[in-house]
Every structure is written in C-alpha cells, then in structure tokens.
Amino acid sequence: MSTRHGPVKPPRTVHAMSSSERPPIEPGPVQHWRIGDATVTRVGEVVLTLSSNFLLPDLTAEHLAANADWVGPYFDGMQMRLSIHTFVVVSEGRTIVVDTCAGVEPGRMLPGDPTFPDRLDVEIDGGLAAVDLVLCTHLHFDHVGWNTRIVDGVRVPTFPNARYLFAQSELDHLAGDDPDDLASSDVRPLIEAGLVDLIEPDHRLTGEVRCVPTHGHTPGHVSVEISSGGQRAVITGDATHSPIQFRYPEMAARRVDWDSERSTATRRKMIANYADNGVLVMGTHFAPPTAGHLRLGPEGAWFDGSA
C-alpha cells in the first residue's frame, strides 16, 4: 500500500467486539451552542466506557492523577469515556452535519445505535432531508457510519438532499486501508449516486465555516473552524480523541493513527492556535461536557470544560 503522505504502513487489522465484550452505551445529552450567528448542536449516538489502553496505550494512572482536577468527566479510573456524536452546524441558511457516527454495519469495532437517525431527525429543523452538506472529517467507520442506511432492504443516503464532502487524499488512502469495508457501504454508493464533492483541506463551507487541515490521524484529516460575530469555535475531529492529549500532545492513538508524529505536531499546532484566546474547542470524541476552552498553565495546556 502506498499513501500520498507519510510512511508506508500495512493495512490495519481490527476486530469487532463480540456482544459480550461491548460496554454499556448511552447517547449523552443533546447540547446546543451559539457562535455568533451560527449554531451547533451535539446529537450523540453512543457514549462508551472502555479501557483507555484501547486508544491511548501510553496513558498511565500517574497522568490522570496529575490532572485529577479537570479530567473527571472523561475518565473513570483507567476507563475512558469515549463519545461518538454528530455536530449539526447551521450557518448562513445552510445545515451542515459534521461526521455521521458509527452506524450498525456488522463487524464494526464499536457498537452503534439503530435509533440514532430517528433521534437526529428530530433535532434538525426540517429533519434529515433538510441537511445541505455532510462533511466527513476523515474516512473511519465512526465518522461515516450513517452516511447511508438500509430502508426496506435498499441502501439509501441517510441525508437524501445533501452533498457529501470527502477529501481526495482520504479516498486515495481508503483504497489501500479499508478493514471495515467502508467503500462498499458508506462511500461508493454515494459516489455512484453522484452525491459526493471532493474537497481540498482548506475548503470553505459558508462564509462562517471552513475546513482546516489537521493531518496525522489520517492523510487528509480536517477539523472545522467556525467564526461568526467575533466568536470562534473549532470542531476537532480525531486530531485528538481525549482532552488529556492537549496536556500531553505526544500521547498518540497509535493503534489507529496513520502517522502519530504528524498527529502530535497537529495537536501542538492546535494548542498554539486555540489556547487562551477564547476559541470554543468542541471535541468530536469528548464525553459531555464536550466543549470548552484550552488554557495554558505551568505544566502545559489543559481543557476547561466548565465554560
């Protein structure tokens, strides 16, 4: 396998959890934020509690103890609370879904929730059919899983009137590293239906919303910046999986990263760009409170979820 950037690595091997291994799940609360004239709504598919070693193999109890005053919402001992949710952004009359969660295709590594599309439909003004754009920050199963769904035995787009936005480098990478067979279920059907637009990593969705390149976790990974009315926010995608990675940016999700050195460099750049300047940081996998601000202290960056 070759990729456009970074080292050549063998395809990942992943194993789905059996029903007996799957942790208890909950969606978490629906949450709302306003950034100037834009709004963002979090709709959760599942919040999982699983071993922190699953994503952060370098994390120790000492790391958590040293940050006990702020990491409580995201860990239960050495168990990590991992949220899988969608952000619905409404900006300048356009409704944008950022990532579509895990879905319920068989054989996936983590469980999804079959009720999620119906719950999401309720939270969007006009329902799923009113969505204009679906942006996938990258092409991993827990970010594209509800791009499509099965209705009366037929696979259809979950958002029938939306344009789906993928980075070309993500499609190139998926061609050589697709352990979950995303192409056949969540990508190719949309391409064949003519619903996909290939974008550059700095693509602008509206005058208030734009992509920013945050490569490392995958070759074409993007985060999403929102700037409106003098206020700013960023949706992280998987540039970070847990707020503790802002305190220790070198702490990488090595099991699932494409290039952990790049992902570490990306987190350091995010700290430089977003800490102590009022930017609301919205974590794509952060358990509630989900959003907060990066602060700088004597020991480095930390995540303030109280704001």
Check residue 59 and report its DSSP letter: -
In the chain, % of residues over pLDDT 90: 89
Q: Cα separation of 68 and 71, whole Å?
A: 6
**In the predicted model, what is the mean pLDDT of the chain?**
92
pLDDT digits (tens, 9 = 90+) for 21-72: 445 568 999 999 999 999 999 999 999 999 999 999 999 999 999 999 999 9
> By C-alpha distance, which of 201, 203, 205, 168 is closest to 187?
168
Is the residue at 247 inside a domain? Answer: yes
Q: What pLDDT band is residue 110 in, cutting at 50, 70 and 90? A: confident
Domain assignment of residue 14, yes or no: no
User: Would you state the pLDDT for residue 305?
Assistant: 96
- What CATH number corresponds to the domain at position 103? 3.60.15.10
In-domain check, residue 9: no
What is the C-alpha to C-alpha distance for residues 175 and 70, in angstroms, rounded to an integer? 40
Q: Is 188 left (phi over 0), alpha (psi -120 to 50) or beta?
A: alpha
Judge whether residue 184 has pLDDT over 80.
yes
CB 164 within 8 A of CB 146: no
User: What is the sign of the dihedral through the CA atoms of 172, 204, 44 and 219?
Assistant: positive
Half-sphere exposure of 24 (CA within 13 A, CB side): 3
Length of the chain: 307
pLDDT for position 307: 65
Kindly provide the b/e burial profile for residues 179-198, where b requires at least 16 CB atoms within 10 angstroms of the residue's own CB: ebebeebbbbbbeeeebbee
User: Which is nearest to 188 in space by CA: 231, 138, 148?
Assistant: 148
The distance of Cα 54 from the centroid of its chain, to the nearest Å, equals 17
Q: Which pLDDT value is given to residue 11?
A: 39
For residues 36 and 208, the answer to whether their CB atoms sit within 8 Å is yes
Is 3 a domain residue? no
Domain hosting 274: range is 25-304
Q: What is the pLDDT of residue 64?
A: 98
DSSP letters, 258-279, are S-HHHHHHHHHHHHHHHTTS-P
Residues near 94 by Cβ (< 8 Å), separated by ≥ 6? Answer: 132, 133, 205, 206
Q: Express each pLDDT in 281-291 by its tens digit.
A: 999 999 999 99
Weakest mean pLDDT among 26-30, 209-213, 264-268: 26-30
Digit-coded pLDDT (tens) for 81-93:
999 999 999 999 9
Report yes or no on 137 lying in a domain.
yes
Is residue 115 in some structural domain? yes
> Over 70: is that where the pLDDT of 3 sits?
no
Q: Which two tokens stand for residue 107?
A: 């054989």
Residue 264 lies in a domain: yes
The amino acid at 195: L
pLDDT value of position 24 = 56
CB of 232 within 8 A of CB of 280?
Answer: yes
93 three-state secondary structure: coil
pLDDT at 108: 86
The tokens describing 200, both together, are: 């550059």
Q: What is the total count of domains within the chain?
A: 1
Is residue 123 classed as helix, strand or coil in its secondary structure?
A: helix
Specify if 18 maps to a domain: no
Determine the Cα–Cα distance for residues 203 and 74; give it in Å rounded to an integer: 31
Give the separation between CA 83 and CA 240, rounded to whole angstroms. Answer: 12
Whether pTM > 0.85 for this model: the answer is yes
The answer on pLDDT for 18 being more than 50 is no
Match 């074409």 to its residue by tokens: 220
pLDDT of residue 111: 84
Q: How far apart are the first and last CA of the chain?
A: 44
Contact 27, 44 (CB under 8 A): yes
